[in-house]
Structure 1
Amino acid sequence: MYTINEVRKMFDISASTLRFYENEGILPEIRRDTNGRRVYDDSQIEWLNLLVALKDTGMPLEKIKEYLHMAYEGDNTLEQRRQILQEHKQSVEEKLALTLNHLEKINNKIILYDVLVLKKDPQKFTI
């Protein structure tokens, strides 16, 4: 079992964010200890790992909530959940490709400045 403070540190998110997820039904079934404090088990930590990955890669909270509700429905939603993740993966890959393209442009501009400002030999650069 993990305290809210331990979970907060594990995922580098605030306690208020964890409470928000719970209130929104995105982080369900949080139990309380004898003093009324939230305690998280391994299955909730596993869900949080996926939740943070989905959120950090741009999946809207409503879509995450939809995915979670499907998970509660059981195996009859496996294909729909797979489809949600497949579509999100495609979106992440497209954004990543665009970001890598932008990074290449930035790197090329830095090389230009290295040549102009630092007087480095452009023949010695590897891209």
Structure 2
Amino acid sequence: MFTIKEASEKLNCPAHTIRFYDKEGLLPNIRRDDKGNRLFDKKDLDWIRLMTCFRATGMSIAGIREIVELAMQGEETIAQRRAILVAHQSEIVKKQQVLNEAFEAVSQKLEVYNNIQNGNPEDSFLEYIGKLDAPTNNEGFK
């Protein structure tokens, strides 16, 4: 069993984040010692890693809570959990496309600056303008 400090260190996740997940009902099986301190086992740490991953992809606390509540109901909810994750994955793909386009725009601008520093400013600007496109999908970051 691990204390919250040990869990935090093992997961590289702040203790306040773990407490928040617990208060939000995202860690349903956390045990406590006789003083009320949270105790975590390996399964709990794996669960926290998963919650952290979901949050890193932009999943809402409400969305995660829905998955947790369904998971607590057992295997008969796998289809529902899968549907939630399929929809979330689709949103991640949209965000990834926006990021890829933004990354390309930054790369092109860096190319302009490199050419300017190498003594070819006019060519750089014309080349930059020729390549520049506005992102086609900026709905991913509403």
- TM-score, with length taken from structure 1: 0.86
Residue aligning to 1:83:
83
> Displacement of 1:80 after TM fit?
0.4
Q: How does 1:89-104 map to 2 (within 5 A)?
A: 89-104=89-104
Where 2:54 maps in the other structure, the secondary structure is: helix
Counterpart residue identity of residue 68, structure 2: L
Residue number in structure 1 paired with 2:52:
52
| Other-structure match for 2:63 | 63
What does the per-residue CA deviation read over 1:14-67, in whole Å, with 9 as the maximum and x for residues that have no partner? Answer: 222211211111112211235542211111111111101110100000010001
1:10 counterpart = 2:10: yes
Q: Deviations over 1:64-116 (max 9, x none)?
A: 00010000111111100000111111111111111011101100100110000
CA distance in 2, matches of 1:119, 1:37: 64
Query: AA paired with 2:10?
Result: M
Stretches of structure 1 lacking an aligned partner (at least 5 in a row):
123-127
CA distance in 1, matches of 2:68, 2:111: 46
Q: Aligned pair count?
A: 121
Q: After superposition, where does 1:33-52 map in structure 2 within 5 Å?
A: 33-52=33-52
What are structure 2's unaligned runs of at least 5 residues? 124-142
Give the letter aligned to residue 27 of structure 1.
L
Deviation at 1:10, TM superposition (A): 2.9
User: Is the 2:3–2:40 Cα contact (8 Å) retained in structure 1?
Assistant: yes
Distance 2:108 2:2 in 1: 47
